[in-house]
Structure 1
Amino acid sequence: MQKIQDGESYVEQTFSRLSLVDGHFMGIEFEDCTFEHCDFSGAHFSRCKFIDCTFKHCNLSLMQVPSTRWFGVSFTECKLVGVDWTKADWPVFHLDSELSFKQCILNDASFFGLTLQELTLDECKCHEVDFREGDFSSSSMTHCDFTNSVFMRTNLQRVDFAESVNFNIDVLENKIDSAKFSRYEALSLLYSLNIELVD
């Protein structure tokens, strides 16, 4: 049985089918590590580092990440419901943390006020996610469902929303210069202008 110890460093290791529900971990560094079919739901990672790591088919729902650093991390087919990413450590000199989420469930997450330029969200379910006051410029948010997600004073310049649906973005409250939208879904942007659309 693989174990994760506080204060240790793990490099180029693969962790498979670990079940560490509600576990508490402190000061651990992971670099170039792969996590497959692991259950970290409710886990508490404090002052840890995940650098160039990959998560596949993992459950990370309600994970807590106080002062934990994420750089160059990709998540594929993972469940990340209710994660408050604002508690993590995001160095001001890294505008692009190279985070990638593909076919993930990110419902009820918070990215409030974060600068995560060039963020990748692909085929993700993003219901009731808080993107307010963040800078996500030059990101790719394609084929996603943004039902009830919140955008306000958000920098969405040059964001690619192609094939994404159910977003509610007020064009007067957000920066959307050079953003890309699918033609039909772009009509929803007009609702914030208090105008009447006719056929």
Structure 2
Amino acid sequence: MGHKQKDKELKIETPRIPQNLSELIVEDIQSGDYFEMGVIQDAFLDNRTANKVCFDKVIFRHINFTGTSFHQLELTDVIFEKCDLSNVDFSNAIIHRAEFRNCKLVGIDLSHATIMNVLFNECMGNYATFRFAQLKQVIIQGSSFQSADFYTTKLKKIALHSTNINKSQFSGTKLEGIDLSDCEFNGLGVEVEDLKGCLISREQAYVFANLFGLVVKE
């Protein structure tokens, strides 16, 4: 069974992966394929196209997925370690109990995805797209998501720590209860009404004041 990972007050379920998994050799991936219980490592799975592929209890190590399109992908109990997922299309994916560790996620498309109990740790996710996605119980830490697109994204129980979100787009996304105080940014795309209940630092208050044309008197 999986265990709980504490992140201040937020708890997420970690992937439920057995020990001593054997290596999986994946040469071709077709729509509807199902892969489970194994380690896939040191491989190129780039520029592939398939629909409704499922990975269950799988560890990916040093995999290059660049330019791959897996629409309606299902990921359950998976770990990505030092993988390159630049410009992949995982739109409409369902991702549950997953970890992305030290991965390159530049330009990844997770629009309309359902993402629950997921950790992004030390990832490069600049220009990532989460439009119309649902994120619940997600931790992003030590990462860069500059110019990422969270337009009209549903966020619930999200923790952001030591992460650069400069120039990211949050318009139409309710930030109530989201703590941005440990994030780095000089500007965000955001509407005034979406900031209600958002937690920010004193320094960030000046950033928002400038965004909305306010003058703060010393």
Normalising to structure 2: TM-score of the pair? Answer: 0.78
| Aligned AA (1:173) | E
Q: CA deviation at 1:75?
A: 0.5
Q: Tell me if the contact between 1:58 and 1:79 (Cα under 8 Å) persists in the aligned partners.
A: yes
Q: Check whether the contact 1:99–1:119 (CA below 8 A) recurs between aligned residues.
A: yes
- Corresponding residue to 1:129 among 124, 148, 151: 148
Task: Report the number of matched residues.
Answer: 192
User: Paired residue for 1:173?
Assistant: 193
In structure 2, C-alpha distance between the alignment counterparts of 1:168 and 1:70, rounded to whole Å: 26
Check whether the contact 1:161–1:181 (CA below 8 A) recurs between aligned residues: yes
**Root-mean-square deviation over aligned CA pairs:** 2.2
Q: Does the CA-based 8 Å contact 1:152-1:173 persist in structure 2? A: no
Other-structure match for 1:98: 117
Equivalent-residue separation in structure 1 for 2:214 and 2:29 (angstroms): 59
Alpha-carbon deviations, 1:96-115, whole Å to 9, x = none? 62222111111111112222
Deviations 1:111-167 (A, max 9, x none): 122221332211111111111222213211111111211121211121122321114
Which has the higher mean CA deviation after the structures are superposed, 129-138 or 100-109? 129-138
Q: 1:120: which partner in 2?
A: 139
Displacement of 1:184: 2.4
Letter matched to residue 2 of structure 1: I
1:63 has 2:63 as partner:
no
CA contact (8 A) 2:172 2:191 kept: no
How far off its partner does 1:42 sit?
Answer: 0.6
Is the CA contact 1:123–1:142 (under 8 Å) kept in the aligned structure 2? yes
Structure showing the higher strand proportion among its residues? 2
Query: 1:138, 1:157 within 8 Å by CA — same for their partners in 2?
Result: no
Identity over aligned pairs, percent:
20
Take 2:72 and 2:172, find their aligned partners in 1: how far apart are those partners?
30
> Where does residue 93 of structure 1 map in the other structure?
none
Q: Against the structure 1 CA distance between its residues 189 and 40, is the aligned structure 2 distance closer, same or farther, given a 3 Å change threshold?
A: same
Judging changes above 3 Å, is the alpha-carbon distance between structure 1 residues 192 and 32 closer, same or farther for their aligned structure 2 residues?
same
Q: Which residue identity does 1:174 align to in structure 2?
A: D
State the distance in 1 between where 2:112 and 2:175 align.
Answer: 22
Q: For residue 34 of structure 1, what is the amino acid of its counterpart?
A: I
- What is the aligned partner in structure 1 of residue 75 from structure 2? 50
Letter in 1 for 2:182: E
Please identify runs of 4+ aligned residues in structure 1 that moved more than 3 A.
Answer: none
Task: Please name the residue that 2:7 is paired with.
Answer: none
3-state SS of the aligned residue for 1:139?
strand
> Residue 86 and residue 176 in structure 1: after superposition, are their counterparts in 2 closer, same or farther (change >3 A)?
same
Q: CA deviation digits over 1:70-110, x for unaligned, max 9?
A: 2222101101111221154x3xxxxx622221111111111
Flag the 1:132–1:24 CA change in 2: closer, same or farther, 3 A. Answer: closer
The aligned counterpart of 2:102 is 77
- Give the gaps of 5 or more residues in structure 1: 91-95
2:44 is matched by which residue type in structure 1?
S
